Amino acid sequence: MANVDSVDIVVKGRGGHGAAPNTTIDPIVQAAELVMSLQTIVSREVKPTEPAVITVGAIHAGTKHNIIGDRCDLQLTVRSYTPEVRKLLIDSIRRKAKAIAAAYGADEPVVTLSDGTPALFNNLDLTRRLRKTLEDTIGKDRVGEADQVMGGEDFSQYGIAGVPSVMYRIGTIEASRYQAMQKRGQTISLHAPEYYPDIDVTLPTSILTMAAAAVEILR
């Protein structure tokens, strides 16, 4: 799983009447250009083989149809795998935000970084050991190797602290409902409105596999 950082950007403008935009510095137009410019960081600055994501998850500005406000607030989530790419993404976000503000004659934006979770890497030896335990417990056909994802998890702190650790994932959607969701083109994702876990099949598997792993480790 990935490094996760949250970035808040306050784009500054100069407010005024919507019918007289020449007397203002419109923070919404400025922010719109910034949102589009941020998309080029991953596509043009990061090596194509390196995983990276910059998502603008929220944008808030304005109060009324005919009023140009004096600020626009952006909330970003930034994902990466290596320290080098993590630094590149953050540095580039700051650089672009400042440059676009300068181009509009606006005051320098406020860019605030909230450190999130570091990347998670499973201990290879322990992973191999527990994979066999899980296969013996629920069957080989029900245990597989998952793709790396850009989600984040603070469980990574155990490995960083030197504790051999493994994070495994449990399927949470019953097979027939999963197939029906696919046919309907529904988004199968943790934060999608259509998602919920089928607890009656998820919980027994979770308890069984966690208990088996604990017994194996405590031998």
pLDDT, one tens digit per residue, over 14-69 is 999 999 999 999 999 999 999 999 999 999 999 999 999 999 999 999 999 999 99
pLDDT of residue 207: 97
Partners of 3 in beta bridges:
80
| Residue where a domain terminates, one of 95, 115, 135 | 115
What is the torsional sign of CA 20, 23, 24, 30?
Answer: positive
Q: Are 51 and 148 in contact (CB under 8 A)?
A: yes
| CATH number of the domain bearing residue 68 | 3.30.70.360
Residue 98 shares a structural domain with residue 133? no
| Residue where a domain terminates, one of 115, 135, 167 | 115
pLDDT tens digit string along 152-211? 999 999 999 999 999 999 999 999 999 999 999 888 888 888 899 999 999 999 999 999
Residue 106 shares a structural domain with residue 154? no
Residue 132 shares a structural domain with residue 109? no
Domain tally for the chain?
A: 2
Cα(184)–Cα(143) distance, rounded to whole angstroms? Answer: 27
pLDDT of residue 119: 95
Helix (H) / strand (E) element for 9: namely: strand 3-12
Residue 16 shares a structural domain with residue 69? yes
Calculate helix-pair angle for 124-138, 199-217, nearest 10 degrees. 120
pLDDT tens digit string along 99-114? 999 999 999 999 999 9
Residue 109 shares a structural domain with residue 135? no
The set of residues, in sequence order, having a beta carbon less than 8 Å from that of 203 and lying 6+ positions away, is: none
pLDDT tens digit string along 82-91? 999 999 999 9
Residue 46 belongs to domain spanning? 3-115
Residue 9 shares a structural domain with residue 94? yes
Assign 2 a pLDDT band (cuts: 50, 70, 90). Answer: very high
Residue 99 shares a structural domain with residue 171? no
| CATH number of the domain bearing residue 165 | 1.10.150
Residue 60 shares a structural domain with residue 160? no
Residue ranges of alpha helices (H) inside 45-141 are 83-104, 124-138
- Give me the amino acid identity at 5: D
Residue 80 shares a structural domain with residue 178? no
Residue 75 shares a structural domain with residue 136? no
Residue 94 shares a structural domain with residue 173? no
Assign 98 a pLDDT band (cuts: 50, 70, 90). Answer: very high
Assign 123 a pLDDT band (cuts: 50, 70, 90). Answer: very high
pLDDT of residue 192: 86
Residue 16 shares a structural domain with residue 79? yes
pLDDT of residue 13: 97
| Residue where a domain terminates, one of 79, 94, 115 | 115
Pairing of strands 16-17, 110-115: unpaired
Assign 94 a pLDDT band (cuts: 50, 70, 90). Answer: very high
